[in-house]
Amino acid sequence: MRSGKLDTTVIASPLPPLFTALSSFILPGLGQLISRQVHRGLLMFASLASMFGIFLTRLASIASDYNVEGAGRILGKSFQHYPGFSVLIIFSLSLLYLWIIVDAYRLARYRKKQKNTGFWLVLLGFFTLGHQLSEIDMVRLVTNFPEASQKMSKILWPWEAAVEYDEELIRASARILVSEEGELPANPSAAPGEPDISIEPRRGSLGTVDENYNQVPGSQVTIQGSGFTPNTFTEIWWIDDTGEEFRPRSEGRYVGAVTDENGNFELTMNLPFANTVIGADGAEYHRIDARQVFQVGAPKFSRDLGMILSRMLETIFMGMMATVFGIIFSIPISFLAARNIMQGSKFTMTIYYLTRILLNIVRSIEPLIWAIIAVVWVGLGPFAGIIALTIHSIAALGKLYSEAIEGIDHGPIEAIQATGATRLQTIVFAVIPQMISPFVSFSIYRWDINVRMSTIIGLVGGGGIGFLLVQYTRLLEYELAGIAVWFIAITVAILDYVSAEIRARFV
């Protein structure tokens, strides 16, 4: 140290500065190695090589996406479709390469290291790669906000879906031919005062997927309706030959129309993707329904709300059962993983090291992965979730308990051992009394973690509220997904309060 500053001098290079710089020009970092700056040279080589390797991987992906060959054409495609990324990463790689050469020259000539310029160049390069590989799109973030805000409002205030009413239904339907063979169906004629719809054309092709797995929409048809309730939204439903019915979507929204003051409407839609069951004569007919739904009677809790409550209770008890099983198995394991308990012989220390390694391996695998394995093992449902959480809880609590054991006061242990007590007696009378407080604290904290994790492992079939949440999200039922999210937040808040009260009483 000199004058309070770090000494940046290094051991002189055994070779001339130009030769050292030329070495780093041929192999980045070699000049630093020659100047006996091994770690610096290896770090520079690894940084430049990893950045260049990731860039080549990205170029290979671009070549595959756009089906081009040749380095020049691939690089051209990169500049054409990702100009900002291409310019920045090549700029970063070039500057870092030149900086490594200059750094090798300065080390050999001036016997001092350069400032942290290289660190910022490496950071710029990896940030550029990360920005591209993670597909960050700020333009899409801003432009999609209006549409996303509508969906988010349903999640933030979803309580309309928590109640339901008895329904009164007004409907009319017409058939459409969706195969090459068969006679055109006639448009139905309704009685005076009754609703009816007509479809033109009455033959069409269903939506398909091409050889590149791109969706190809079905034929376009026009639906006209009359005799419905005026100024009311009319839903369009599709019923295939198997009796399955669903609401077609267009641009992410359900197809439908609002009737005019005379109860008429007209809309155009593409035929959706649907099951095909060709009849014996080669003809296949599907149906299009126009429906108006009216709510009647007093409000009542919806069936979906009851299902969400049931799954939330399942989630809470999944976390509780996993915590109980985790505590039971982790307590004995934690003593095997405590150095101060196991030291004394090679055999016990071998058990100690093996236990610690096993706990670290199991703990490093997330409960979500354990849930996937458990689903394969015992099938879908909460039991798979309990297995996953229990396995991870054993490893996590075993580590926490063992570290708490290693931090206890050794005075009582030495006093008990001085009386000639066995190892088991020492644990019972000197270790366990000191461990009650941290054991309770860690156990309550793990219960809180397990309840929150129970909401996640349901995404892979591990039961609980997460299973419903992912289904609602996939079906774009954002209000029901919002109710599930609200119940998760409320439950976690209540459990946090309960755990704080328990901790205050026992810790």
Written in H, E and C, the secondary structure of 81-137 is HCHHHHHHHHHHHHHHHHHHHHHHHHHHHCCECCCCHHHHHHHHHHHHHHHHHCCCC
Beta-bridge mates of residue 166: 296
> Based on the number of CB atoms within 10 Å of its own CB, is 421 exposed (0-12), middle (13-18) or buried (19 or more)?
middle
User: Does some domain include residue 150?
Assistant: no
Mean pLDDT computed over 457-476: 81
Q: What is the pLDDT of residue 191?
A: 73
220 and 115: one domain? no
Q: For residue 457, what are the CA distances in angstroms to 76, 284, 462, 481, 492?
A: 44, 42, 5, 16, 16
- What pLDDT is recorded for position 276? 62
Residue 57 forms part of a structural domain = yes
Cα 263 to its chain centre, rounded Å, is 46
Which two structure tokens, joined as six digits, stand for 305? 């709300």
Among 71-85, 170-184, 281-295, 350-364, name the one with the lowest average pLDDT: 71-85
Residue 153 forms part of a structural domain: no
Does the residue 389 lie in any domain?
yes
Tell me the two tokens of residue 405. 């054991």
Does the pLDDT value for residue 409 go beyond 90?
Answer: no
On the question of pLDDT at 214 being above 90, the answer is: no
CATH number at residue 218: 2.60.40
Give strand pairing partners of 208: 216
Query: 187: domain range?
Result: 160-300
Residue with tokens 């008429």: 264
Give residue 123's identity as a one-letter amino acid code. Answer: L
Q: The tokens of 499 are what?
A: 């755990």
Measured distance CA(371)–CA(173) in Å, rounded: 46
d(CA 326, CA 329) in angstroms, rounded, equals 5
Instruction: Based on the fold, state whether residues 353 and 398 are members of the same structural domain.
Output: yes
Q: How far apart are CA 353 and CA 503, in angstroms?
A: 32
Place of tokens 């609401």: 247
pLDDT at 7: 43
Question: Which structure tokens are listed for 167?
Answer: 């329904």
d(CA 353, CA 350): 5
Neighbours of 104 (CB within 10 A): 32
- Does the pLDDT value for residue 282 go beyond 80? no
Element (H, E) at 249: strand 249-250
Closest CA to 292 of 217, 197, 186: 197
Query: Residue type at 503?
Result: R
> How much is the average pLDDT of 160-186?
87
Is the same domain home to 428 and 366? yes
Q: Do 280 and 344 share a domain, yes or no?
A: no
Same domain, 315 and 426: yes
226 and 127 in one domain? no
Do 395 and 321 fall into the same domain?
yes
- How far apart CA 235 and CA 294 sit, in angstroms, is 12
* Same domain? 234 vs 314: no
Among the listed residues 256, 201, 202, the one whose alpha carbon sits nearest the alpha carbon of residue 225: 256
Within a domain: 142:
no
Question: Has residue 152 been placed in a domain?
Answer: no
Give the pLDDT confidence of 308-338 residue by residue, as tens digits.
998 888 888 888 899 999 999 998 899 899 8
User: Where does 337-457 have alpha helices with state H?
Assistant: 339-342, 346-364, 367-378, 382-406, 411-418, 423-426, 432-457
- Side chain identity at residue 133, one-letter code: L
Domain termination site, one of 281, 300, 319: 300
List all residues 6 or more positions away from 341 whose beta carbon is below 8 Å from its beta carbon: 335, 405, 423, 427, 431
What percent of the chain clears pLDDT 90, i.e. is strictly above it?
22
Residues 6+ apart with CB under 8 A from 182: 281, 282, 283, 284, 285
How close are the terminal C-alpha atoms of the chain, in Å?
48
Question: CATH code at 323?
Answer: 1.10.3720.10
pLDDT given for residue 112 in this prediction: 61
Gap between the Cα atoms of 20 and 107, Å rounded: 9
> Are 323 and 403 in a shared domain?
yes
Instruction: Answer yes or no: is 361 within a domain.
Output: yes
For residue 1, being part of any structural domain is answered with: no
State the total domains in the chain: 3
Domain's final residue, options 300, 328, 354: 300
Regarding whether 484 and 337 lie in a shared domain, the answer is: yes
User: Is 336 found in the same domain as 358?
Assistant: yes
Tell which of 283, 300, 317 closes a domain. Answer: 300
Over 60: is that where the pLDDT of 4 sits?
no
- The length of the chain is 507
- Kindly report, residue by residue over 352-396, the tens digit of the pLDDT: 999 999 999 998 888 889 988 988 888 888 888 899 999 999 999
Indicate whether 35 and 172 sit together in one domain.
no
Distance separating alpha carbons of residues 100 and 26, to the nearest angstrom: 11
Angle at 449 between CA 445 and CA 452, to 5 degrees: 140
Report the predicted TM-score, pTM, of the whole model to 2 decimal places: 0.64
Rounded CA separation 405/64 (Å): 55
